[in-house]
Structure 1
Amino acid sequence: MTTDTTGTTGPGVFRPAPGAAPLSRMILAQTALETRMLLRNGEQLLLTVIIPTLLLVLFSTVDIVDFGADGASVDFLAPGVLALAVLSTAFTGQAIATGFERRYGVLKRLGASPLPRWALMTAKTGSVLVVEALQIALLAVVAVALGWSPEGLGSPGGALSVVLLLALGTAAFCGLGLLMAGTLKAEATLAAANLVFLLLLVGGGVVVPLDKFPEAAQGVLSLLPITALSEGLRGVLQGAGPVPWRELAVLTAWSVLGLSAAARFFKWE
């Protein structure tokens, strides 16, 4: 093969054309890479898949918490565990992974690549959505096998409300996770993210009904994003009422707050 320095082209002529791939292709490639990394991480799978599934099976089959009427355990637990799955992936897993990528200079190097930084965050969010879809599918199958009947999905309004709740919950937890990962040291992020996960698991209406807490604390707990997500999903999926406007408003507020703070304070190195 020959090289023509005159700028002409033809058979046997090699003319380099350096340049970045189309932005959409770069985002898709990075999303696929982020998803593979998440699925290959044993610790992340324990947090995002095994723990929610075990909680769903254990609390549905063993009389640990009084959920009210007989047979109501899985109906109460399934929406809460779905909310926990969003929390584990969008917040805890995202915060820990991004925190250590920041510590080891991965984000700094990716930030210097042709992939824009906003596109990198888009790819990370895309990988979170892929993993959440797998989580929700698995947990829904397990819950149905345990006797769950999501009556609220029978109407278009119910299905749309579920999608909105999950989307806003993902946005809120992604923002908070990136804020933590972009401002704290990796070790502090690891400890804080796991501590928050445990606290929200207990106090966020996931496996323990809010009415089990003191009345003075119920008002504060209802403003947490995990509580708004779990209670909103529970109300819709049980067919208990109309669109959960209050829970959607709480999640919207957390989404704006978390994403705005992450964009303002996130440090890439």
Structure 2
Amino acid sequence: MSTTTATTATTPPTGAARRRIGPVALGLRQGRLEIRQFLRSRESVVFTMAFPVLMILIFASIFTGEITDGVRFTQYFVTGMIATGLMTVGFQSLAIQIPIERDRGVLKRLRGTPMPKWVYFAGKVIMVAVIGVAETVLLLAVATMLFGLQLPDTATKWFTLGWVSVLGITACTLCGIAFSSLAHSGRSASAVATPVSLVLQFISGVFFVFTSLPGWMQQVAALFPLKWMCQGLRSVFLPEAFATQEPGGSFELGRVALVLAVWCVIGLVLCLTTFRWTTKRDG
């Protein structure tokens, strides 16, 4: 017995034991896992990626005219659908996925493993980023090929598209993680998150020209990120002359950046203070 113990104690660790996975590799591995799980869920793929494309096909086919001189409805509508797509994958999908995983005990088991907690969230962030980029490219491709969408023609507009998308999807992702704690069970998650997402779309200028909405509705929408994401994206895809049609008489990109940044901070604070790894019945 003593010989066996000594041999075990002095045997050098194997190659697998010596290898340590770094934090970046851990995050990327979790991200690949999250993406595979997302793609295996036909409901998630259809609702998150196919729904915005379907809306463009329907609305752009019905409303073929101009909303003002030189601005076709398609050009206006695509900005709202890009913002909606980012909100759907960042906010709605996480607000539904996480309660389901919590209800199934996945989060409780992860919490009991040596894996750092941040790896779970890193995987979600990577999944949201990859799906968000893919969805945006798909929307632009469909709108350009089928409805003659005019893509940004300057580096400044492409840069604006980038930072509005990054700030917007970051705010939506953090809010989605925080909002996931409101659902009492995985079964009720969709019923809790989907109405919020739909209401924000209707009052934020996605389906209608924003200034045509009642004043009180515009004021309510201005409290949330989606309205500002749509406004920032309009500055990318619509001519400068359209800025006079905005409520403030301009695209107000400085205010867009400020509001989205504030929502990133709010979302982070809510995540840190409200996120739950277990259901209430687990304690």
The one-letter amino acid paired with 1:155 is: T
2:94 paired residue number: 94
2:268 paired residue number: 259
Give 1:175 shift: 1.3
Mapped partners of 1:134, 1:71: distance in 2:
26
Runs of 5+ consecutive residues of structure 1 not aligned to the other structure: none
TM-score w.r.t. the length of structure 1 is 0.88
In the alignment of these two chains, the number of paired residues is 263
User: Cα deviation per residue 1:226-253 (whole Å; 9 max; x = unaligned)?
Assistant: 1110111011222426771111111111
Q: Residues 30 and 219 from structure 1, CA distance in 2 versus in 1: closer, same or farther, beyond 3 angstroms?
A: same
Give 1:263 shift: 1.3
1:135 paired residue number: 135
Aligned pairs (5 A) from 1:3-14? 4-5=7-8, 7=10
Mapped partners of 1:99, 1:187: distance in 2:
8
Mapped partners of 1:72, 1:267: distance in 2:
46
Mapped partners of 1:71, 1:237: distance in 2:
10
2:64–2:73 CA contact under 8 A, matched in 1:
no
Mapped partners of 2:154, 2:71: distance in 1:
23
Mapped partners of 1:14, 1:76: distance in 2:
60
Mapped partners of 1:8, 1:216: distance in 2:
73
2:165 paired residue number: 166
User: Cα deviation per residue 1:30-52 (whole Å; 9 max; x = unaligned)?
Assistant: 10010011111111112211110
2:277 paired residue number: 268
Mapped partners of 2:68, 2:43: distance in 1:
34
Mapped partners of 2:80, 2:272: distance in 1:
29
The worse-fitting range, judged by mean Cα deviation, of 187-196 and 33-42 is 187-196
Q: Residues 16 and 175 from structure 1, CA distance in 2 versus in 1: closer, same or farther, beyond 3 angstroms?
A: closer
Aligned pairs (5 A) from 1:1-269? 4-5=7-8, 7=10, 17=17, 21-63=21-63, 67-69=67-69, 72-145=72-145, 146-150=147-151, 153-185=152-184, 186-240=186-240, 244-269=253-278
Mapped partners of 1:52, 1:66: distance in 2:
21
Give 1:6 shift: 6.0
Mapped partners of 2:48, 2:66: distance in 1:
26
For residue 67 of structure 1, give the secondary structure of its aligned residue in structure 2: strand
Give 1:122 shift: 1.3
Q: Residues 101 and 18 from structure 1, CA distance in 2 versus in 1: closer, same or farther, beyond 3 angstroms?
A: farther
The one-letter amino acid paired with 1:115 is: M
RMSD over equivalenced CA pairs, Å: 2.5
Instruction: Give me the identity figure in percent.
Output: 26
Mapped partners of 1:102, 1:228: distance in 2:
31
Q: Residues 59 and 16 from structure 1, CA distance in 2 versus in 1: closer, same or farther, beyond 3 angstroms?
A: closer
2:94–2:173 CA contact under 8 A, matched in 1:
yes
Mapped partners of 1:249, 1:14: distance in 2:
52
2:71–2:238 CA contact under 8 A, matched in 1:
no
The one-letter amino acid paired with 2:272 is: A
TM-score w.r.t. the length of structure 2 is 0.84
